[in-house]
């Protein structure tokens, strides 16, 4: 037997044995974003191609080489999103978010599509967690989103991550820098790739992040933007650093960070890990004060970042961070004989209504085979129900770890026994949530000087 086709190169299937890790990362990221006041924004997976051509920039690698673009039945050019920022700007104007209370704080998680050469940490379908903050031009906003990124990574148990920051100035101070770059690269025209030769005139900064080996060497010695930024941009950058210092967030100024997308202005930053090989950027972002206007919206300052979920998982695994394992299922009811099947199905329904993960046989297997299954799946308790149990109205619940058996009433006892053991996942979660809530409200009362 052979499948008619296989998964597309650069895409991944995530099986239940791994998916709980992704769920943990996603949940932790959302919870952290929530603490900073960010609400989830969902946008379509595909957009009109021009959104990315204009937004990301038509001289970027992403637009020139990596987009999945197709023509739909109506003859329109559509593209699978290579990133979220352009979509989030479009949606925030189209849905009027930016006409409400500012700053707008939006976060997202979802798939992105880039036709890059697949390798460890680089996929054609990957997933990003990101945040975007609109309507705040002050440097505190830059520091705030950076702090959010650091908090999410810390909350995930990532201990070693370096934050690298830079300023790439504004359109005004960049003109002079562009001239310096053109002058430098004109001396190296023979050594750079053909794409870079083409984009040198229009967008010389794009040559700095070209992935071609020949271009990387030349880029290493190119003039640095920090030597060219204007006083306003320098003051802004200094304030960002002051706020990061105040929050105790370590960073390194790396003058070679320019980011691979065209919309950035002033602050840019990356979260870098030394534990995952060549694709070391776990996340990146920056300020992009011109993008709203470029896309036809009102002038709106903006700052944000995105992180690759797959890369976060790689770093966590490399650093031995813990992924809380999913709860083991509570109880397996093993029917013996036709009459018991219906009873077990009815009991499962009742148990699930109460929040217990309960299963029964769906294959007509022997009790021995069922027990093997229950053991393999990690059930905490099992209970065999056959004709004699139905007749006597009594069953025995077996603890799969200790082998200990508890005799109880078939009609009412299973539920009671599980409650006695304190197994209900729903109840446990509820209790934990209530503890957290009372802790938080105590802290709040203390802060407010509330004596009650
Ligand atoms: P980006 O640097 O292109 O920025 O992507 C952000 C993160 O997505 C990267 O640091 C990396 O972790 C992950 N990533 C990118 N490409 C791949 C890939 N092929 N395979 C696996 N992971 C990948 C942006 O996308 C901007 N929109 C970030 C932003 C938001 N700037 C402002 N707001």
Closest residue by CA, ligand 1 atom 31: 285
Quote the pLDDT of residue 366. 97
Closest residue by CA, ligand 1 atom 9: 283
Q: Which ligand 1 atom is the nearest neighbour of the CA of 288?
A: 32
When pLDDT is cut at 50, 70 and 90, the band that residue 440 belongs to is very low
Q: Read off the pLDDT of residues 86-127 as tens digits, 9 standing for 90 and up.
A: 999 999 999 999 999 999 999 999 999 999 999 999 999 999
Q: Which ligand 1 atom is the nearest neighbour of the CA of 261?
A: 3
CA of 128 to the centre of ligand 1 (A): 7
Residue 61 Cβ < 6 Å to ligand 1: no
Please say if the pLDDT value at position 448 is more than 70: no
Least confident of 58-62, 159-163, 395-399: 58-62
Which among 428, 431, 430, 424 has a CA at the least distance from the CA of 331? 424
Determine the residue of 8, 284, 287 to mutate for testing ligand 1's pocket, defined as the one with the most ligand atoms within 8 A of the Cβ atom: 284
CA of 259 to the centre of ligand 1 (A): 10
Residue 265 Cβ < 6 Å to ligand 1: no
When pLDDT is cut at 50, 70 and 90, the band that residue 423 belongs to is low
Residue 304 Cβ < 6 Å to ligand 1: yes
Query: 414-433 burial, b for 16+ CB within 10 Å, e for fewer?
Result: bbebbeeeebbeeeeeeeee
Cα distances from 278 to residues 20, 163, 286, in angstroms, run 26, 17, 22
Residue 289 Cβ < 6 Å to ligand 1: no
Determine the residue of 85, 132, 306, 310 to mutate for testing ligand 1's pocket, defined as the one with the most ligand atoms within 8 A of the Cβ atom: 306
Residue 92 Cβ < 6 Å to ligand 1: no
Please say if the pLDDT value at position 371 is more than 80: yes
Quote the pLDDT of residue 426. 45
CA of 435 to the centre of ligand 1 (A): 37
When pLDDT is cut at 50, 70 and 90, the band that residue 418 belongs to is confident
Give yes or no for a cis peptide into 114 (omega within 30° of 0).
no
Q: Read off the pLDDT of residues 283-296 as tens digits, 9 standing for 90 and up.
A: 999 999 999 999 99
* 104-113 and 125-134 strand pairing: antiparallel
Closest residue by CA, ligand 1 atom 18: 122
Quote the pLDDT of residue 434. 40
- Pair of tokens at residue 372: 């093997």
CA of 343 to the centre of ligand 1 (A): 53
Please say if the pLDDT value at position 446 is more than 50: no
CA of 262 to the centre of ligand 1 (A): 13
Quote the pLDDT of residue 133. 98
When pLDDT is cut at 50, 70 and 90, the band that residue 346 belongs to is very high
Cα distances from 415 to residues 82, 247, 342, 394, in angstroms, run 50, 50, 18, 13
pTM (2 decimals)?
0.90
Residue 204 Cβ < 6 Å to ligand 1: no
Please say if the pLDDT value at position 33 is more than 60: yes
Cα separation, 341 vs 359, whole angstroms = 11
Residue 282 Cβ < 6 Å to ligand 1: yes
Higher pLDDT, 412 or 434: 412
Q: Read off the pLDDT of residues 185-215 as tens digits, 9 standing for 90 and up.
A: 999 999 999 999 998 998 899 899 888 889 9
Please say if the pLDDT value at position 438 is more than 70: no
Quote the pLDDT of residue 451. 42
CA of 333 to the centre of ligand 1 (A): 47
Which among 334, 320, 313 has a CA at the least distance from the CA of 377? 334
Quote the pLDDT of residue 145. 98
CA of 123 to the centre of ligand 1 (A): 11
Q: Which ligand 1 atom is the nearest neighbour of the CA of 281?
A: 10
- The percentage of the chain sitting over the pLDDT mark of 90, rounded to a whole number, equals 84
Q: Going along 135-262, which residue ranges are E strands? A: 162-167, 252-253
Quote the pLDDT of residue 422. 64
Cα separation, 349 vs 372, whole angstroms = 23
Determine the residue of 56, 109, 126 to mutate for testing ligand 1's pocket, defined as the one with the most ligand atoms within 8 A of the Cβ atom: 126
Report H helices in 59-106. Answer: 61, 85-94
Taking a C-beta distance cutoff of 8 angstroms, is the pair 251, 164 a contact? yes
Least confident of 55-64, 227-236, 358-367, 425-434: 425-434
CA of 169 to the centre of ligand 1 (A): 21
* 162-167 and 267-272 strand pairing: antiparallel
Q: Sign of torsion, CA 197 198 201 202?
A: negative
CA of 372 to the centre of ligand 1 (A): 45
Give me the sheet containing 302-308, strands edge to edge: 39-40, 104-113, 125-134, 302-308, 281-287, 267-272, 162-167, 252-253
Q: What angle do CA 194, 199, 202 make, to 5 degrees?
A: 160
Q: Read off the pLDDT of residues 295-344 as tens digits, 9 standing for 90 and up.
A: 999 999 999 999 999 999 999 999 999 999 998 999 999 999 999 999 99
Residue 63 Cβ < 6 Å to ligand 1: no
Q: Read off the pLDDT of residues 2-18 as tens digits, 9 standing for 90 and up.
A: 999 999 999 999 999 99
Determine the residue of 83, 122, 272, 278 to mutate for testing ligand 1's pocket, defined as the one with the most ligand atoms within 8 A of the Cβ atom: 83
Q: Read off the pLDDT of residues 383-414 as tens digits, 9 standing for 90 and up.
A: 999 999 999 999 999 999 999 999 999 888 88
- Pair of tokens at residue 365: 């297997």
Please say if the pLDDT value at position 56 is more than 90: yes
């Amino acid at each position: 037997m052979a499948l008619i086709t296989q998964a597309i190169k650069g895409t991944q299937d995530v099986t239940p044995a791994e998916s709980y890790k992704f769920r943990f990362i996603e949940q932790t990221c959302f919870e952290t974003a929530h603490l900073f006041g960010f609400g989830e924004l969902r946008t379509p997976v595909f957009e009109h191609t021009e959104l990315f051509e204009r937004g990301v920039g038509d001289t970027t690698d992403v637009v020139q080489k990596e987009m999945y673009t197709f023509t739909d039945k109506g003859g329109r050019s559509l593209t699978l999103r290579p990133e979220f920022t352009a979509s989030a700007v479009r949606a925030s104007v189209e849905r009027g978010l930016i006409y409400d209370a500012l700053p707008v704080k939006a976060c997202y998680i979802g798939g992105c599509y880039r036709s890059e050469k697949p390798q460890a940490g680089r996929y054609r379908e990957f997933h990003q967690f990101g945040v975007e903050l609109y309507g705040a031009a002050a440097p505190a906003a830059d520091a705030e989103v950076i702090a959010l990124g650091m908090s999410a990574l810390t909350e995930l148990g990532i201990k070693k991550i370096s934050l690298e920051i830079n300023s790439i100035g504004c359109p005004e101070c960049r003109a002079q820098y562009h001239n310096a770059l053109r002058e430098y690269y004109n001396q190296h025209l023979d050594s750079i790739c053909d794409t870079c030769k083409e984009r040198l005139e229009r967008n010389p900064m794009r040559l700095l992040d070209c992935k071609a080996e020949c271009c990387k060497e030349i880029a290493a010695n190119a003039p640095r933007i920090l030597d060219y930024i204007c006083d306003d941009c320098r003051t802004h950058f200094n304030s960002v650093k002051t706020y990061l210092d105040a929050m105790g967030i370590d960073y390194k100024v790396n003058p070679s960070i320019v980011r691979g997308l065209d919309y950035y202005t002033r602050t840019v930053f990356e979260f870098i890990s030394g534990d995952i090989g060549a694709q070391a950027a776990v996340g990146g972002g920056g300020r992009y004060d011109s993008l709203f206007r470029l896309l036809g919206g009102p002038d709106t300052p903006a700052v944000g970042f995105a992180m690759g979920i797959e890369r976060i998982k790689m770093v966590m695994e490399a650093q031995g961070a813990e992924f809380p394992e999913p709860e083991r299922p509570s109880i397996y009811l093993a029917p013996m004989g036709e009459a018991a099947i219906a009873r077990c199905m009815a009991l499962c329904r009742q148990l699930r209504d109460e929040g217990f993960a309960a299963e029964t046989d769906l294959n007509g297997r022997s009790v021995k085979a069922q027990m093997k299954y229950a053991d393999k799946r990690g059930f905490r308790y099992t209970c065999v129900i056959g004709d004699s149990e139905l007749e006597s109205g009594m069953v025995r619940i077996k603890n799969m770890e200790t082998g200990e058996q508890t005799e109880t009433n078939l009609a009412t006892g299973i539920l009671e026994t599980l409650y006695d053991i304190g197994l209900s996942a729903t109840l446990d979660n509820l209790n934990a949530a209530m503890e957290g809530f009372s802790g938080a409200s105590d802290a709040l009362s203390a802060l407010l000087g509330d004596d009650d």
